[in-house]
Amino acid sequence: MGSLDTPTTTENHGSTQGGGTYDGGDQKPPVSANGTAPRFESMESEASRKRRASILPLEVGTRVLCRWRDGKYHPVKVIERRKMHIGGPNDYEYYVHYTEFNRRLDEWVKLEQLDLDSVETVVDEKVEDKVTSLKMTRHQKRKIDETHVEGHEELDAASLREHEEFTKVKNIATIELGRYEIETWYFSPFPPEYNDCLKMYFCEFCLNFMKRKEQLQRHMRKCDLKHPPGDEIYRSGTLSMFEVDGKKNKVYGQNLCYLAKLFLDHKTLYYDVDLFLFYVLCECDDRGCHMVGYFSKEKHSEESYNLACILTLPPYQRKGYGKFLIAFSYELSKKEGKVGTPERPLSDLGLLSYRGYWTRVLLDILKKHKGNISIKELSDMTAIKAEDILNTLQSLELIQYRKGQHVICADPKVLDRHLKAAGRGGLEVDVSKLIWTPYKEQG
């Protein structure tokens, strides 16, 4: 007599009676005449164990499928590995890069998140790099730019490999800044004494950083800053902008660069911040002015750069602050009587924000303007560099080349369609609230 939880009939699994077939499912395997189970199951598990033993621990460079936070398996490449403190000789954690996604999603994973049946043969990285550099097609280069090397368009192959080798593993997993705990995206070269620190604590006003919560609490009792050091040059409602001179506030400028590097893959970390001005955007309340994001610019730029680096901190993204920072940089250029352009290379998110800003500003003017207008006139009105205007209008197919000159074709229906696709414009800069003197006139 069978057990109560064993069905007497099955659907699409064959019979469990007598010598019928066994297709798996929820049924128990058939037994032989002497009452022993067939050997194919134990042979299969033995083969699986042998394969597992032969590939573990996984080598750096191995490609395998990994279960991500969406519960699905995605292809990854093992970037680094580390021995676990407790466990056997093959117990490692693996730092992986999801080949479909940006490097900001790289992370440490446990062995059980990996599908070992999907392990691919490890390719010699040096050989792979050499073959890639010799045979990479234009499409492949563009594909790489769109995935894990966004923002590195101006680096040659050797520099790119050196950059990725040096920054391949995130050294800080999370930071605490004000009331937010934020997961970091990239490596940042903090001083060596912070090498063993997975979480760091920042003072949200002076940006000093510490290893432990207790240190931060002691610091906050002594720190008398309630806003970034520097001059408040803009206040509209709860939004404030502070101009911080890197020469006058060197430690703050360096700390800001350390913080920003955790979220910007392409950023070169400048220890000599004397040459830069930092414009720090804050949300203000009765507790103080809390940093939302910032942009920096060189005090003297021969290439007409009006922005060197831009970042909106993750808790404040998708709220229009990035577009506000871009618009603010152009308002400063107008005050200076110059045209400006951002320093290249731009990060992937920075490029998207700039394309959106240029599109909306130019289309708004074209929609309202009656009669012909030249690229030079658009540049004078907006402080956007002529090359950026030309590239934007060409990407929207709003410009043609006739009789040796560029002609703007502004059909109202086409403009409306592009404006709708560009989305909302973000927060507006109220120029009447900007009180600022250009740096060259301050001296």
Helices (H), 26-91: 40-55
Q: Which of 46, 150, 343, 377 is catalytic?
A: 343
Tell me the C-alpha distance between 330 and 323, whole Å. 11
Question: Is the backbone peptide bond immediately before 57 cis, with ω within 30 degrees of 0?
Answer: yes
Respond yes or no: is residue 343 known to be catalytic: yes
Q: With residue 331 as reference, give the H or E element that holds it.
A: helix 321-336
Asked whether the beta carbons of 306 and 338 are under 8 A apart, the reply is yes
Question: Is the backbone peptide bond immediately before 345 cis, with ω within 30 degrees of 0?
Answer: yes
DSSP readout, 272-326?
Answer: -GGGEEEEEEEEEETTEEEEEEEEEEESS-TT-EEESEEEE-GGGTTSSHHHHHH
Cα separations in angstroms, 213 against 210, 222, 258 = 8, 15, 19
Cα separations in angstroms, 124 against 128, 132, 166, 408 = 6, 12, 19, 52
Catalytic center residues? 343
